[in-house]
Amino acid sequence: MTLLRSIDTILPAVEQQLDAVPFIDIHTHLFMPSLGTLGLWGIDQLVTYHYLEAELFRSSPLKPEQYWVLSTQQKADAIWKALFVENTPISEATRGVIAVLKAFGLPTDSPDLREAREFFANQKVEPHIRKVFELAGVSEVVMTNDPLDPDEAPLWQEGAERDPQFHPVLRLDRILNKWSSHWHLVPGADENAGSIAPVRKFLAEWCERMRPVYMACSLPDTFQYPEQSIRSRLLAEVVIPACREFEIPLSLMIGVRYLVNPALRLAGDAVGRADLGALERLCVQFPENRFLCSVLSRENQYELCVYARKFSNLMPFGCWWFLNNPSIVEEMTKERIEMLGTSFIPQHSDARVLEQVIYKWRNTRRTLAPILADKYALLAADGRAVTAEDIRRDVTRLFRTNFENWTT
């Protein structure tokens, strides 16, 4: 075993191990092939990603109401023109599209999307999925599955074929955040959730049907626990007990200010600093439950790290959404390594379009390599050299076994 002491030998070793270890992408909005057109892929979906829609309205006279009446292709053409032709695609999200085009050997400076459209139109979805996962260096992705989604739920009830590279998750936003407009979809439930048995039965049936690797919910920046609310009661009396019964974690994604600009639709959400005391009280009250947690506000990251040092049933994960930018990923990851060693999950892609995993994971590997290498170089300077095997074990833990152990 070669002992690595200097950054010159450590950095290439880290880059090599990051490339060699296939990652598990623990949170995406991708769908297994049997869920059909729910799964988005191809150039028009890549270019009309809500991150780019938000950027479009800053660089084009087009108003949202004019944009929403366009076809998907017309929307993509408008975005390509405004962000990739009339301006330099220098933002994180625009650069992502460029990286995907390059990955498939397609031109990155065309005046239009004709050639890219032709290329993607010739792809067969199943082999394309495998190719994309290979290019991204991921072995499996975790989906976001909504049992109350009118398009998705029937597909599961009809017995959608499973895929070993796609793990399901029971996403509960409609139940926990929008009970008043969705309770009638839970058989036997009532408007005030007075009787919780029907909700428990509903969750148990979906766990049997879907065998999710975890349950999940995004929560507003105003999230409080406990509080006098249906959400708080359903969490304590239905969701968290069900997670214990089915021995799966609950993932809490905290800090969204929903639709601060409704005109932008999916691109209309923002961020707010949350009171993580709610998370503290959940970890204290339910020590038998495992929690995954990602917080959206930059200001909440330090607190989350400290809470993870206090509660071994809490697993911080990902640099979520607006945080998924190299400058912030760097800051968060350094802080997490300094306070948690390798006992956290550094990233997830949150991909909504299949090919996004290619650039999101390439960016993550590119950002993390020097951070990890610096930490190993510091360790060597402090008196202990590392080996490629050490690095391999740590990368495997960060991007595979922390999640596997947390969900089994």
Q: Can residue 356 be called a binding residue for ligand FIX (CB under 6 A)?
A: no
Nearest distance in Å: CB 31, ligand FIX: 14
Q: Which among 183, 151, 134, 177 is positioned nearest to 22, based on CA atoms?
A: 134
Residue 353's contacts (CB-CB under 8 Å, 6 or more residues apart) are 40, 41, 42, 45, 46, 49
Q: Indicate the Cα dihedral angle 14, 317, 46, 20, nearest 10°.
A: 20
Q: Residues 8 to 67: which contact ligand FIX by CB under 6 A?
A: none
Q: Report the interface residues with Zn ion, using CB under 5 A.
A: 350
Task: Please identify which residue in the block is written with the tokens 């979805």.
Answer: 125
Other C-beta atoms lying within 10 Å of the C-beta of residue 351: 25
Task: Please identify which residue in 25, 53, 350, 394 interacts with ligand FIX, judged by CB under 6 A.
Answer: 350
Assigned token pair, 132:
């994309």
Q: How many positions of this chain bind ligand FIX (CB under 6 A)?
A: 7
Binding mask 255-284 for ligand FIX (x = CB under 6 A): -----------x------------------
With respect to ligand FIX, which residue has the nearer C-beta, 52 or 132?
A: 52
Nearest distance in Å: CB 350, ligand FIX: 4
Q: Taking CB within 5 to 8 Å according to partner kind, which of Zn ion, ligand FIX, none is near residue 266?
A: ligand FIX
With respect to ligand FIX, which residue has the nearer C-beta, 142 or 240?
A: 142
CA distances from 208 to 107, 131, 212 (A): 47, 31, 9
Distance CA 136, CA 138 (A): 6
Residue 162 DSSP code: P
Residue 267's contacts (CB-CB under 8 Å, 6 or more residues apart) are 50, 51, 53, 54
With respect to Zn ion, which residue has the nearer C-beta, 294 or 402?
A: 294
Q: Residues 188 to 227: which contact ligand FIX by CB under 6 A?
A: 218
Q: Taking CB within 5 to 8 Å according to partner kind, which of Zn ion, ligand FIX, none is near residue 321?
A: ligand FIX
Task: Please identify which residue in 290, 336, 352, 362 interacts with ligand FIX, judged by CB under 6 A.
Answer: 352
Nearest distance in Å: CB 27, Zn ion: 6
Which chain residues interact with ligand FIX by CB under 6 A? 144, 218, 253, 266, 321, 350, 352
